[in-house]
Amino acid sequence: MADTVLLVEDELLIALDLQATIEDAGFAVEGPCMTVVEANEAIDRCAGALVAALLDVRLADGNVFPAADRLYADGVPIIFHSGHADTSDLRLRYPTATICPKPSAPASLTAALRNSAARDEPMSATG
């Protein structure tokens, strides 16, 4: 089973494009979630099984921050993909998050996903 990335994006065409990029990078996709409510439901369903989350900031029902706060507290690597985000605010609130301005090239998003998912892998024991 492929590692799963949570996708939160409220613009359908962008969401479908991002889904294809995530899948082409070898990950499974939870979503796309188009609202904060849907994102929180997906977080509940996945219960710690996410290797990363790709989040738009502005959604139909408000900012993604309630879901991002949960992911961040759980140690899930976050990639913000937004054209409306205050980068300095995001860096203060989520210091370990990756920020990819919208639009980002698929290769940039793929690299961000792979780097984020690698951060989530446990260290191997040496003996």
Angle at 76 between CA 70 and CA 82, to 5 degrees: 80
What is the per-residue pLDDT across 32-88, written as a single tens digit (0 to 9) for each? 999 999 999 999 999 889 999 999 999 989 999 999 999 999 999 999 998 877 889
Phi first, then psi: give them for residue 17, nearest 5 degrees: -65, -45
More confident residue, 119 or 39: 39
The identity of residue 13, as a single letter, is: L
Contact 57, 82 (CB under 8 A): yes
* Check whether domain 4-107 has CATH 3.40.33.10, yes or no: no
Which pLDDT belongs to residue 120? Answer: 53
